[in-house]
Amino acid sequence: MNKFDRGTLLLRILAIIVVIAVAWSLRSRAMNMLSVDYDEDDYLRAGQEFAQLIRTNDWSGFTQTNYRPEHPQLAKIMFGLSVLGLPEEPLIADVPITANPARTLPPDLLRAARTMSTVWGTITAFLLALINPLGGLMLAVHSFTIKYTSQVMLDGFASLMSTATALAYYFSKRQSGKKRNILLILSAVFLGMSASSKYLHSAVGFAILIDWFIVAKESNVIKKYFRDAISWGLLAILVFFICNPFYWIDPVESIRTTYEAVSATTTNPNVERANSPVWQQLMHLSMSVPISWNPDSFPIRADGLIFIFAIIGVMRTWKKDRFIAIWLFVDIFLLLVWRTKWAQYILVATVPLSFAAAEGLKESGKIMSDWWRDRHRRREEAAKPTRRETLRALPWLVPGLVAFALLTILPLLFQFAISLTDFNATSIRDGFDGGIWRAIRGGLTGEIPASAVDIGARANRVNYAGLGA
C-alpha cells in the first residue's frame, strides 16, 4: 500500500468514526429527552413477557407468546434481552391499540430498551458508512430516523437487519466463488431476521431479486439465477421460521391470528381518522420531525434537504450501484401502497435514501465546482443575447425554474409553515383540506392567536402555534 492509499484509508476510517459519534450522540440526546410515544408501552410489555419466559426457563412459552401479533417476535425478544438483567416490574397494562401513549413507563426498563434501540440505530449508520461515509452521515442526522431508533420501536432492529441484508448482497456482487456464496448466505440469513422483526422491512429481498435477475440476464445465466434465487429465498424463510417460535406448533392458526391482527391495525379508528393520502409518506420523507412534537430533541432538522439531494442523486446512484437505487424504488412503492401511513414506517427507505442523498450532494458539489472553475472562460466566450434569442430560450428556461421551485423552494417553505402549527397525525385530514393555510394565514395576520401545544391531547383541527412553539 503506497502513501496515498494509506492516507485515503485513514481519512475513510476517520469519517466512519465521525459518523458513529454523530449517530450515537444525537440518538442518545433524543433517547433521554423524548416523551413516551405510541407503541412504546406495547413493545416494552412484550419485552417483559419474553424476559420472564427466559428467567423461568419456560421455553415452550415462546410458541404461545406474541403480544401484538400483527408483528413477528424477534425484535420483541431483543427488547426482552435488554431488560433481562433488571429487577422485575409489574407487567405494563394491556390497553387498546387506539389508546393514547402511556404517561409514564418503568424508567429503568424504558431506558434499557431505548438504549438498545440507540445501539441498533448507530450500528445501522455505521454499516452504511462502510460503503458511503457521507451517506452514513446523512442517516446519522436524519431526524425521523433518530426519533424511531431512540425509542422502543421495532423499526430500529428491523432497519439494522435489512441494511445488513443489503450490504451482504452488495459485497457479494464484488466477489466470486466461495466468498460470494458465503455473502449470499449471510444476506438470506439477515433477510429472514429482518422479516422476523417487522414484515415491511423484508422489501429489501425483492430489490435483491430484481437486481440479481438483471445481472443474470446480462450474463445469460437465467437458469442458474432461478436455481440459486429459490435456494436463497427458502433459506430466508427457514431463518424467519426459526426466529419465530410462535409459528412452530400450529402455523396455520398462527398465520390466521397474524392476518386478523394486521387487518385490525390497518383499519383501526386511528387510521380511519387520519385518512392519510397515498403520498403521505413522501411528506414524511420531505420534512423533518415537526418542532411541535419536541422542540429540543432534534438540534439538526435537515430531512427536507436530504430528500432534495436524494432526488438529485437518484440517477448517479443508479449508475454507481443500480441495486441501491432499486432498493429505494421498491421501498418507496411499498410506502405508497401500504394502507397505514405512520411516520415510523419510512425507516424502510431512509438508508437507501441517505445513500442517494450523498450522491446528490456530491453531484451538486461537482456542478458548482465546474461552474466556478469555468466562470472566466464563460465570461470571455459569452455574448450578449439578442431579444430574439432570449425569447427562444424562454420555453426551455421557464420549466426549469418551475421544477427548481417545486423541488427546492416550495418544500422548504412548506416545512417552515408546518413548524408554525401543531399539525400532527390526528389533524392530517383537516390539514390537507386547507387547515394548514387557514391556521398560518390567520396567525400571521393576527386574526388567530397562537395556541399552546399539548402533545398528549392532539386536536383534530390544525391550530396556529407560532414561532415560540
Q: DSSP string spanning 256-298? A: HHHHHHHHHHHSSHHHHHH---TTHHHHHHTSPPPTTT-SSS-
**pLDDT score recorded for residue 386:** 62
**pLDDT score recorded for residue 410:** 64
Three-state DSSP string of 199-259: HHHHHHHHHHHHHHHHHHHHHCCHHHHHHHHHHHHHHHHHHHHHCCHHHCCCHHHHHHHHH
373 vs 195, residue with greater confidence: 195
User: What is the arithmetic mean of pLDDT over 239-249?
Assistant: 95
270 vs 131, residue with greater confidence: 131
CB burial class (10 A; 0-12, 13-18, 19+) of residue 389? exposed
CB 330 within 8 A of CB 201: no
Tens-digit pLDDT profile for residues 312-329:
999 999 999 999 999 999
Residue 221 predicted with pLDDT over 70: yes
Cα diameter, the chain: 86
- The pLDDT confidence band at residue 462, using thresholds 50, 70 and 90, is confident
**pLDDT score recorded for residue 100:** 87
Q: What is the DSSP string of 456-468?
A: TS--SS--B--TT
Give dist(CA 183, CA 175) in Å, integer: 9
Which of 143-147, 396-400, 413-417, 446-450 shows the lowest mean pLDDT across its residues?
396-400
**pLDDT score recorded for residue 449:** 78
Residues 6 or more apart in contact with residue 250 via CB below 8 angstroms: none
**pLDDT score recorded for residue 467:** 63
Give dist(CA 193, CA 414) in Å, integer: 38
**pLDDT score recorded for residue 7:** 80
User: What is the arithmetic mean of pLDDT over 345-372?
Assistant: 93
Residue 429 predicted with pLDDT over 80: no
Percent of the chain surpassing pLDDT 90: 66
End-to-end CA distance of the chain: 55
Residue 39 predicted with pLDDT over 70: yes
Three-state DSSP string of 304-348: HHHHHHHHHHHHHHHHHCHHHHHHHHHHHHHHHHCCCCCHHHHHH
Nearest Cα to Cα of residue 284 among 217, 362, 338:
338
Q: Is 421 helix (H, G, I), strand (E, B) or coil?
A: strand
Work out the angle between the directed axes of helices 177-195 and 222-242 (0-180°, nearest 10): 40
Residue 258 predicted with pLDDT over 70: yes
**Chain mean pLDDT for the chain:** 88
Which of 123-132, 186-195, 397-406 shows the lowest mean pLDDT across its residues?
397-406
CB 151 within 8 A of CB 37: yes
Residue 453 predicted with pLDDT over 70: no
CB burial class (10 A; 0-12, 13-18, 19+) of residue 228? middle
Give dist(CA 365, CA 359) in Å, integer: 10
Tens-digit pLDDT profile for residues 124-137:
999 999 999 999 99
CB 333 within 8 A of CB 278: no
Residue 193 predicted with pLDDT over 90: yes
- The pLDDT confidence band at residue 405, using thresholds 50, 70 and 90, is low
**pLDDT score recorded for residue 178:** 93
Residue 402 predicted with pLDDT over 90: no
**pLDDT score recorded for residue 391:** 67
Taking CA atoms, 157 is separated from 79, 99, 164, in Å, by 10, 25, 11
Residue 461 predicted with pLDDT over 90: no
Give dist(CA 284, CA 282) in Å, integer: 5
**pLDDT score recorded for residue 448:** 77
- The pLDDT confidence band at residue 310, using thresholds 50, 70 and 90, is very high
Give dist(CA 224, CA 208) in Å, integer: 15
**pLDDT score recorded for residue 382:** 60
- The pLDDT confidence band at residue 372, using thresholds 50, 70 and 90, is confident
The number of residues making up the chain comes to: 469
Neighbours of 361 (CB within 10 A): 21
What values do phi and psi take at 73, rounded to 5?
-95, -30
CA angle 341, 346, 352 (to 5 degrees): 150
CB burial class (10 A; 0-12, 13-18, 19+) of residue 316? middle
Residue 425 predicted with pLDDT over 70: no
Residues 6 or more apart in contact with residue 30 via CB below 8 angstroms: 146, 147, 150, 151, 297, 298
462 vs 156, residue with greater confidence: 156
Q: What is the DSSP string of 347-412?
A: GGTHHHHHHHHHHHHHHHHHHHHHHHHTHHHHHHH--PPPHHHHHHHHHHHHHHHHHHIIIIIHHH
| 8-state DSSP, 434 | I
CA angle 353, 356, 362 (to 5 degrees): 140
Give dist(CA 298, CA 140) in Å, integer: 12
CB burial class (10 A; 0-12, 13-18, 19+) of residue 207? buried
User: What is the arithmetic mean of pLDDT over 260-283?
Assistant: 83
Residue 189 predicted with pLDDT over 90: yes
109 vs 398, residue with greater confidence: 109
Give dist(CA 199, CA 72) in Å, integer: 8
CB 49 within 8 A of CB 69: no
353 vs 439, residue with greater confidence: 353
Cell representation of residue 408? 427546492
Q: Please tell me whether the overall predicted TM-score, pTM, comes out greater than 0.85 for this model.
A: no
Residue 383 predicted with pLDDT over 60: no
